[in-house]
Chain A
Amino acid sequence: MSIGVRASSLPLWRQPWMINSLVTVASVLVCMLLLPSRIPGMELLGVAPHWLLIWVVAWSIKRTQWEAALAGLVLGLLQDAMTAPTPTHTLSLIVAGVLTARLQKQRYLQEDIVSVALIVFAMAVIAETVLALQISFDQLLSANSLYPPLGRIWMYHQRVALSSAILSSLWAPALYYPLNRWWDRYAAEP
């Protein structure tokens, strides 16, 4: 993404980079407001789509790994704000973003909706695994850990990872398509 000060004759709120940032921030806000809601049809075994993960994947697909890591950090902090600071979500979202950015997409995958859904599926599993690993380390290392024994953590991880991956990949196009269209249009503008 190239942000440069262009078309400086326009007022601040009409400048393309300003509009682009506003749209980007608004899309993150929409994702965060969707997180606590359980709209009928968006729920499987009590698990909802991981909207922030879909956003990170949509952001990272055409960007460098540093931009992806940054998005993962910011959105992870935001999700920590909405749940609890430990175990942190920054790690799982950064891993998901960097892996997406590093994927050799031009060689293996096209940028169509099906491959985006596939990437989201894999990243959802990876993100939940990173969280489960953090919980397992906490359970192993700290003496008075509140978490259940390892067997139960990983049993729960299976359930959560699978339903989160299925739901997130199904809903991924709903977020990826408009966001990608917008970013493409913004990048194409002179």
Chain B
Amino acid sequence: MFALRRWWTRHALKAGMVTLAISSAWLMRADEGAVIYETYHWLTRPLQPGMSREQQFENSYILELQQRIVELENQNRSLQTLNDYEAATLLDGVRATVIGRGADHWWQHVILNRGSRDNVAAGHVVTGPGGLIGRVVAVSPSTSRVLLISDPTSRVGAKVSRSRAMGVVRGQSNNRVVMEFFEKLPDVKAGDVIVTSSYSRLFPQDIPIGRIESIDLTKSPAPEAVIQLSSPLSILEWAIIHPFEPQETVDLPVLPGATPENGVIPESGDGVRP
């Protein structure tokens, strides 16, 4: 007991500081670094670029418009035979400036200067010059963290606009992504436009992603294509955040008897599409 008290009188300050350091670091982690990013936002405020360098993105814009036209033409063709066509659900969003990049080399993140104060929430979809950029994974009052589609852990359901061949787009930490097709012999060729598919639960359909650069049909287990992203992720300066309700609840096991009609889970909000 005496030894304990002597230890305490000698090391109380040290122990207190150690506890304080660990607990505050833990709190910040539970908070997903909101305090740090808020400070970062206010410090870099004078440095945040305006919209002056937009002409640099003109090329990407033209590319995006061309791809949208290709997509629209294809849609039109299929619309003539299809009755229950559903409009793309990309809502108008807020414009945000890129103020930072990932705080680590293994994640492809960007930090935008809009947060929960501008009604941005995790799950919202981010587009920019050139098409799809990623989705919001964390927000603080005035910043949001976006997981780019070039991140290795990012998965986007995608389709070839011309032939409707479906697949999944995986990031590769650079400006090219890989698309894995579901079919063994998909109808694709180099130069085809890739857009998000209607099967994607995290993204609305028909947002341009990029163009096919090369195809490897012999790849096992599924044929793959390398896609050149149309948005310049490495020099991105601004983006648009669109409100979107991801259908993440679809994967949850549903108790028998509690299943509502056509498998739609009522809690998943009004953004639910079949």
Interface residues of A, Cβ cutoff 8 Å to B: 3-5, 17, 21, 29, 32-33, 35-38, 46-48, 50, 70, 73-75, 77-85, 87, 89, 128, 131, 135, 146-148, 152, 156, 160, 164
Instruction: List 16 additional contacts besides A77-B26, A82-B104; criterion CB under 8 Å.
Output: A32-B36, A32-B103, A33-B39, A33-B43, A36-B40, A37-B40, A37-B44, A38-B100, A70-B22, A77-B28, A77-B29, A81-B29, A81-B30, A82-B33, A82-B36, A160-B105
- Contact flag A131-B103 (CB < 8 Å), given A78-B36, A146-B152, A147-B152: no
Specify which chain B residues have a CB less than 8 angstroms from the CB of A77 in the assembled complex.
Answer: 22, 25-26, 28-29
B39 & A70 in contact (Cβ 8 Å cutoff): no
Specify which chain A residues have a CB less than 8 angstroms from the CB of B106 in the assembled complex.
Answer: 83, 87, 131, 135, 160
- Determine the distance from Cα of A171 to Cα of B4 in the docked complex, in whole angstroms: 44
B162 within 8 A of A: no
Interface residues of B, Cβ cutoff 8 Å to A: 13-14, 17-18, 21-22, 25-26, 28-33, 36-37, 39-40, 43-44, 99-107, 109, 111, 137, 152-153, 155, 170, 172-173, 234
B105 & A47 in contact (Cβ 8 Å cutoff): yes
Specify which chain B residues have a CB less than 8 angstroms from the CB of A4 in the assembled complex.
Answer: 13
Residue of B nearest to A67 (CB): B18
- Determine the distance from Cα of A17 to Cα of B170 in the docked complex, in whole angstroms: 51
Partner of B234, one of A37, A46, A78, A85: A46
Closest chain-B Cβ to A161's Cβ sits at a distance in Å of: 9
Specify which chain A residues have a CB less than 8 angstroms from the CB of B102 in the assembled complex.
Answer: 36, 83
B28 & A78 in contact (Cβ 8 Å cutoff): yes
Specify which chain B residues have a CB less than 8 angstroms from the CB of A48 in the assembled complex.
Answer: 101, 105
- Contact flag A36-B26 (CB < 8 Å), given A84-B107, A146-B153: no
- Determine the distance from Cα of A19 to Cα of B18 in the docked complex, in whole angstroms: 16
- Determine the distance from Cα of A79 to Cα of B170 in the docked complex, in whole angstroms: 25
- Determine the distance from Cα of A172 to Cα of B130 in the docked complex, in whole angstroms: 38
Partner of A5, one of B13, B137, B155: B13
- Contact flag A73-B22 (CB < 8 Å), given A29-B39, A146-B155, A164-B105: yes
Residue of A nearest to B104 (CB): A83
Specify which chain B residues have a CB less than 8 angstroms from the CB of A29 in the assembled complex.
Answer: 39
Residue of A nearest to B44 (CB): A37
Specify which chain B residues have a CB less than 8 angstroms from the CB of A85 in the assembled complex.
Answer: 29
Partner of B103, one of A21, A73, A83, A87: A83
A3 & B100 in contact (Cβ 8 Å cutoff): no
Show 20 A/B contacts (Cβ-Cβ < 8 Å), sorted by A.
Answer: A3-B13, A21-B17, A32-B36, A33-B39, A35-B104, A36-B37, A36-B99, A37-B44, A38-B100, A38-B101, A47-B105, A77-B22, A78-B28, A78-B33, A80-B29, A81-B33, A82-B37, A83-B106, A128-B105, A146-B155
B155 & A82 in contact (Cβ 8 Å cutoff): no
Specify which chain A residues have a CB less than 8 angstroms from the CB of B13 in the assembled complex.
Answer: 3-5, 17
Closest chain-A Cβ to B172's Cβ sits at a distance in Å of: 7
A36 & B103 in contact (Cβ 8 Å cutoff): yes
Specify which chain A residues have a CB less than 8 angstroms from the CB of B109 in the assembled complex.
Answer: 83
